[in-house]
Chains A and B, each alone.
Chain A
Amino acid sequence: MPSNIALFSAIVGEQHVLTNKDDLENYGQDWSRLYTPAPSFILRPGTTAEVSKIMAVAYEHEIAVVPSGGRTGLSGGAVALNGEVVISLERMNQISSFNSVDRTVTCGAGVITQQLQEYALEQNLYYPVDFASAGSSHIGGNIATNAGGIKVLKYGLTRDWVVGLTLVTAKGEILKLNKGLVKNATGYDLRHLIIGSEGTLGIVTEAEMTLTDQPKNPTVMLLALESLSDVSNLLVHFQSAMDLLAFEFFSHQALQKVLTHRDVKKPFEHDANFYVLMEFESDGDEAMESALAAFEQAAENEWLVDGLISQSQQQAEELWVYREGISESISHYPPYKNDIAVKPSQVGDFLQQVDHFVNENYPDFENIWFGHIGDGNLHLNILKPENLGLEDFKQQCAKANPSIFTILQSFDGSISAEHGVGLVKKDYLSFSRSDIEIQLMKSIKRTFDPINILNPGKLFK
């Protein structure tokens, strides 16, 4: 390996090549924490030109690379298992050339999501892609996984905010994709092929992102529900009455975990089985009147049993804690996480079937449900019982996978809604994609990466 290091340190400079044990472990894995990282060394290039030179050398010497962002992924997409060279883009964290007419901004791949959100606010604009790990995740990683999060209902996914990409190919060529255009009907849109490709087709070094207006007076309602059977009615009902920004749900068990983990007050005097957290724009009295009337009607229809509403920005944030604090409050168990999606109209039925399956076959396991009802994305978390060893628990969960995915397949659902496939889900890709689709995807991979050096071993078996 040392000869390799010399080739690369000539490009990035010795101080940006990391080889010590802690760095290898840290840069070699994401938050999935299921694999033992084993990268050869870490490179921290500072420019697109450096990444291009790195890839030219890697291609010539057939050295596999793993691109690395904030490493907050949960599917093992950024894990280096087999002596790959990790290319961390964290030094490319500059935001530049804001254009107020186009409302676009150019970000290095290493810009942290929250950094872009805050930059947008300074321009009196808004970057709407948001999720619990926004304080650590990178824009480059968001693009690689087409990150979604809590505002997808209104604002869509990362894909919807990328108007230009700078891509370094396996051979080190530099491509500028779509170049910030709004309209561009000139054949295959390679930009969209790259978004969500998990670093298997090229390395994104820079992105032009578009910004939008800030939501007006976002207000949060927390609703208490006895069951989820009427939840799609609720969604339609509130969607017609107000401008929804988010429509999230969580189970009572999930709330219990947050209340135990965080020092927050109980939201309702009486417990319910499920809760819906709804955020909407409340611009003026009329919008608020309409929201209140919609609540009254829903209560009359017995679709919900109680509700709260934020009276200040502070309270809106306090209410979000009940939803956003869930992942953190169960992380120590550790949970078996499943990020799956069905059509929003089928959430209730699907959830019932899976819940039934898990309760029947794994009566000792505790299920924590939460997710984004508004876009059909559910997070099923099964908690490890205290008396069960970690390896046993992992094995039992792996056995449950095919059954859960078979139910999912019957709903035409997705085995990975927003976390990506990476290593964790690659064995199950065929539950969501047909054989022909997978063959086509593999031939695309070969076209972009003929000698399989870009994040090898991810996505496909």
Chain B
Amino acid sequence: MDTAELSSRFDFALIVESIPFLLRGAVYTVEVSLLAISFGLVLGWLLGLAAVSGLRWLRAITWAYVQFIRGTPLLVQIFLIYFGLPVFGIDIPAFWSGVIALGLNSGGFQAEIVRAGIESIDRGQTEAARSIGMSRVQTLLFILVPQAIRRVIPPLTNELITLTKSSSLLSAIAALELTHAGQLIIARTFAPFEIYTAVAALYLVMIALLSRVSALLERRVFVNY
């Protein structure tokens, strides 16, 4: 097919027209993702530290949590929160259901990253810390975590990218995020190729920005040793 034919099939004007609406969806996606990332980071570090703590019951709880999160589909987790909780009278709007579900899910995966990062630090570091009288907690906070942070930035970045893209699953609970915004336009215009292309491009831009921030963190902020 020649260019003329292609352009006759690919309606750029429609994309331009749809941009404002898609951008509103993108903003929603960014908001949900940023809140879920913050929530997931806090949860992930707490669980990750619990996973290397000396308390057996705390490690057991963390293990069970991570097993549940890893072993069930994110979509089912989203449905549990959005459709399941109202059964108990807990009715959370789509936006916050999304933040909670994505945050809880990502927290589980991040916990594993944090645990592995801390456990990858040479045992001699711990022994040296204990030999000058530091407690387990002090060793963790002052010696192991500062060294682990730098190691976990690349895998954590991957996880945050996954989270942002997974927010498209929130279209299933009619949250007005980017993918769902695209679906609404397609339902009206019957132009899935143009609209999904535009949607994909917007995701790409968001992920590129996220990667950039993480690369900066890795290079500038934590590069002191």
The judgment on whether A and B are partners is no
List A residues at the B interface (Cβ < 8 Å). Answer: none
List B residues at the A interface (Cβ < 8 Å). Answer: none
